[in-house]
Amino acid sequence: MTPEEETAILDAALTRDTLAHAMQVARFLESPAPAAAWRWIDTFLEAFAGECPTVREALPIVADLRAEAVIVPAIDLEKLRNRQVVFFLDAVSQYVDDQRELRGLPVSRDVLEIAKEFGLKSDEAHWCVRVALTGKSTGCPFELLFPLLGHDRIMMRIGAISSHLLHGRGLEPIPYGPGGVPFKTIEGTKPT
C-alpha cells in the first residue's frame, strides 16, 4: 500500500465500510468480515461516531478496545486499593461470566445493584469499573462498552487489576497523594 493510499484510508469519513476496511488494513479484522464483526462495528459507531469523524481518530480507540490489557494511572490504581473495591470488581466479573450475551443488558443498573452489596456510591462504582476496564475515568455507556470489550477482555482486565492490587504491595493504601495531600481510597459504607 502506498503512503497516499494509507493516508486516504485514515482520513476517510468514519462509516461502517471505511472502518471495516481500515480495521482489515490494520489487521484488527479478517477479510471478509464475519457477521459478529459487523455487529461490533455498529456498536462502535453508536458509541464513538460523535467523537471520531475520521478513521484516523477511530483506530487508536479500536486498538485500545482490542488490547488484552489496560494501563491504569498510578493514582487511580491507588484509589482502587481497597478490599470492598476488589470484591466489588470480582462480583462484576462474575456477573459478566454468568451472561451468555453482553449486548442488550441493563449493565449500568446491574453494576449499581452489585455496588449496593459493597456499600459503594453509584458514581464511585461506575468510576471503579470504567477505570479497571479502560484506564480512563470517562467514556461511552456501559451498555455499549461491555459488548465492545467482550467477555474475555473484561475478565482479563478485571483479573489483572485485582491481581495487581492483591499481589503487588497489598491493600494498604498510600498515606499521601500528590502535593502531600492525605490520600483516601474509595471505601464502601456498611449497607443498611
In this predicted model, what pLDDT tens digit does every residue of 155-187 receive, in sequence order? 999 999 999 888 876 667 777 778 877 778 888
Is the domain of 82 the same as that of 39?
A: no
Cα-based distances in Å from 9 to 19, 64, 141, 162? 9, 19, 28, 39
Is the domain of 8 the same as that of 93?
A: no
Is the domain of 172 the same as that of 105?
A: yes
Query: In terms of Cα–Cα distance, which of 96, 103, 111 is closest to 152?
Result: 96
To 10 degrees, what angle do helices 35-48 and 55-66 make?
A: 120
Contact 144, 53 (CB under 8 A): no
- Tell me: pLDDT of 9 over 80: no
Is 118 part of a structural domain of the chain? yes
Site of grid cell 484506564: 135
Contact 119, 192 (CB under 8 A): no
List, for residues 22-60, the tens digit of each pLDDT value.
999 999 999 999 999 999 999 999 999 888 888 999 999
Is the domain of 87 the same as that of 48?
A: no
> pLDDT confidence of 2, banded at 50, 70, 90?
confident
Q: Which of 66, 87, 111 finishes a domain?
A: 66
Is the domain of 43 the same as that of 135?
A: no
Site of grid cell 494498604: 172
Q: Which of 49, 66, 83 finishes a domain?
A: 66
d(CA 160, CA 140) in angstroms, rounded, equals 22
Least confident window among 7-11, 124-128, 132-136:
7-11
Query: In terms of Cα–Cα distance, which of 155, 144, 136 is closest to 71?
Result: 136
Q: Does the pTM exceed 0.75?
A: yes
- Domain hosting 98: range is 74-180
**CB burial of residue 109 (10 Å; 0-12, 13-18, 19+):** exposed
> pLDDT confidence of 189, banded at 50, 70, 90?
confident
List, for residues 129-148, the tens digit of each pLDDT value.
999 999 999 999 999 999 99
> pLDDT confidence of 192, banded at 50, 70, 90?
low
| pLDDT at residue 191, rounded to an integer | 65
Residues in contact with 179: Cβ distance below 8 Å, sequence separation at least 6, in sequence order = none
| pLDDT at residue 186, rounded to an integer | 84
List, for residues 65-118, the tens digit of each pLDDT value.
999 999 999 899 989 998 899 999 999 999 999 998 999 999 999 999 999 999
Contact 143, 107 (CB under 8 A): yes
> pLDDT confidence of 5, banded at 50, 70, 90?
low
State the CATH number of the domain containing residue 82. Answer: 1.10.10.350
Is the domain of 59 the same as that of 86?
A: no
| pLDDT at residue 180, rounded to an integer | 78
Q: What is the CA radius of gyration of the chain?
A: 19
